[in-house]
Amino acid sequence: MTRLRFAVSPAAPLHVASARLAVVSWLYAKCTGGRFLLRVDDIAAPSEAADLQRDLAWLGIDWFEIAFQSHRRDAYADAAEKLKAAGRLYPCFETQQELEAKRDHRARRGQPVVYDRAMLKLTPDQRARAEAGGKQPHWRFQLSDRTVTWKDLTLGKHEEKLQAISDPVLIRADGSPTPALAAAVDDHDDRITHVIRGAEQTASTAVQIDILAALGAKTPFLAHLPPLQEGTGRRARRPEGIALRHLRADGMEPQALAAYLATLGTGHPATAAGMTSCDLARFAPARFDIAALLAANRAQLSEMPHEAAAARLPPGATEAFWLCVRKHIDLLPEARGWWDVVAGEIVPPEIEGEAGLLRLAAEELPAEPWNEQVWPTWRDALATATNRPAPDIAQILRLALTGEDHGPDMASLLPLIGRARAKRRLDVAAC
């Protein structure tokens, strides 16, 4: 059975780049008949995970188990002792300022900015003096002197040279484990079979492989999705800067967002049908485009039945109203504006030079009851009376009646506005 996990810290709001990894991992577990686990990194920054769970549940993601790393400190301590016994963990006493000075020095000389392993030369006497002076070491993992190679389910054959990577800190000076150690231990203990990450994390993956090997653990299958690039245009934003809770507050449909994230870079449509593939090799570099996301959301709304939308519509909004406007909004809260058009009061704009037409239109308004034939009949009669093209007449009437130059079909919208409201707006616009 496939077993996948999504590991995240709840200290910061979940953003769309991370949510994409969660969606793809969850879908892969589902389409392979496997299980999906939620892992919360709450060691360095303990906090409530309620918001994280709420965000994922809103997206439609469920999990068979939730694991908190703060509950597994003993397992990490045991793993650290095993690595110490094997000679793979060594104590380091440099301060953060000393490490930064070393990095700056190597950078100025054009040398690779990797840790110089100076603490491997530390003698027992030097260590004793450091500890007697009150210093507590952090512990680094001595990486193997090899090139790690794996068959990536997305990238294909991939390799990383460990010689080009700094020995990672696995135990902080306060004794707490870093994510590098915790993730390796948890993946082994949780029997994780597949790990899906971003392609920007391949170096971290190589480190994980080396740690797992040192612990005598098996490496799961790996897939690294190409990172999402920032879109283009005035509304472009970095994916890492777009929190799910903000999209939810804006009125984004979770199904549309999940489908967009799951299919981004695959060439598949951003629909439920496009989310069914288990092929992780289909992902190519892609841009996170707000306009494309809104188009996916519009498509979702355009098929949404009234009963699914009713609870979020303005009080009194009817099924006829929803069916009229649903294809013409990007986000469901925008329906509020159209409800004002059909059931409230708006101030129509001044339409220069068209007072005569608007007065005539008010005089020629048909008597009620109205149906969808009222609009074309009225519009065409005015076009004939004024000897003007019907499309021009339609545009002027739309602007006077709705305050907008585009929107739902007027044949459906006009009966919802009603004769009394329509006449008042025509009279105001004609002044």
- Give, rounded to a whole angstrom, the gap between the first and last alpha carbons of the chain: 73
In this prediction, residue 411 has a pLDDT band, given cuts at 50, 70 and 90, of very high
Q: Are 41 and 66 in contact (CB under 8 A)?
A: no
Q: Are 181 and 170 in contact (CB under 8 A)?
A: yes
Torsion of CA 27, 33, 34, 40, to 10 degrees: 30
pLDDT digits (tens, 9 = 90+) for 319-354: 999 999 999 999 999 999 999 999 998 988 888 899
pLDDT tens string 249-261: 999 999 999 999 9
Residue 274, helix vs strand vs coil: helix
**DSSP line for 94-130:** --HHHHHHHHHHHHHTT-------GGGG--HHHHHHH
d(CA 22, CA 293): 18
pLDDT at 67 exceeding the cut of 80: yes
Residue 208 pLDDT = 97
Residues 6+ apart with CB under 8 A from 415: 370, 371, 372, 374
Coil vs helix vs strand at 42: coil
Average pLDDT over residues 106-126: 88
Task: Give the Cα separation of 215 and 80 in Å (integer).
Answer: 9
Mean pLDDT value across residues 266-270: 90
Q: Which are the contacts of 198, defined by CB distance < 8 A and separation ≥ 6?
A: 17, 21, 224, 225, 227
Residue 72 near residue 182 (C-beta atoms within 8 A): yes
Evaluate whether 218 touches 212 at the Cβ level (below 8 Å).
yes
CB atoms within 10 A of CB 281: 13
pLDDT at residue 407 greater than cutoff 70: yes
- Quick one: fold of 230-302? Glutamyl-tRNA Synthetase; domain 2 (1.10.1160)
**Average model confidence (pLDDT) for the chain?**
93
CATH 1.10.10.350 fits 355-430, yes or no: yes
What is the Cα–Cα distance from 118 to 105, expressed in whole angstroms? 14
Tokens 């439920």 belong to which residue?
A: 272
Alpha helices in 237-373 (DSSP H): 244-250, 254-263, 290-302, 306-309, 319-325, 335-343, 355-363
Tell me phi and psi for residue 405, to 5 degrees.
-95, 5
Mean pLDDT of 230-245: 76
Confidence of residue 188 (pLDDT cuts 50, 70, 90): very high
Instruction: Let me know if 110 is exposed, middle or buried by CB neighbors in 10 A (0-12, 13-18, 19+).
Output: exposed
Once rounded to an integer, what is the mean pLDDT over residues 236-252?
87
Name which of 372, 373, 425, 383 is nearest 403 in CA terms. Answer: 425
pLDDT tens across 199-230, in order?
999 999 999 999 999 999 999 999 999 988 87
Kindly report which listed range (25-39, 275-289, 364-378) carries the lowest average pLDDT score.
Answer: 275-289
Which of 84-93, 167-176, 245-254, 266-275 shows the lowest per-residue confidence on average (mean pLDDT)? 266-275
| pLDDT per position as a tens digit, 277-324 | 889 999 999 999 999 999 999 999 999 999 999 999 999 999 999 999
The pLDDT of residue 273: 82
Domain range list for the chain: 230-302, 306-343, 355-430
Segment 104-123 shows an average pLDDT of 87
pLDDT of residue 112: 80
The per-residue pLDDT for 233 is: 59
* β-bridge pairing 221-225 and 194-198: parallel
- Closest by CA to 114, choosing from 122, 105, 123, is 105
- List Cβ neighbours of 222 (8 Å cut-off, separation of 6 or more): 150, 152, 153, 194, 195, 197, 205
Q: Interior CA angle at 76 toward 212 and 135, to 5°?
A: 110
Residues 6+ apart with CB under 8 A from 318: none
pLDDT of residue 113: 85
Angle at 277 between CA 276 and CA 279, to 5 degrees: 160
Is the pLDDT reported for residue 368 higher than 80?
yes
Tokens found for residue 320: 């006829």
Measure CA 207 to chain center.
Answer: 27
Which tokens go with 328? 């013409």
* pLDDT at site 109: 85
Checking if the pLDDT of 47 tops 70, the result is no
- Neighbour-count burial of 307, counting CB atoms closer than 10 A to its CB (0-12 exposed, 13-18 middle, 19+ buried): exposed
CA–CA separation, 176 vs 73, rounded Å?
A: 8
pLDDT of residue 46: 65
Whether residue 234 has pLDDT greater than 80: no
Q: Dig out the tokens for 404 from the structure.
A: 């907008």
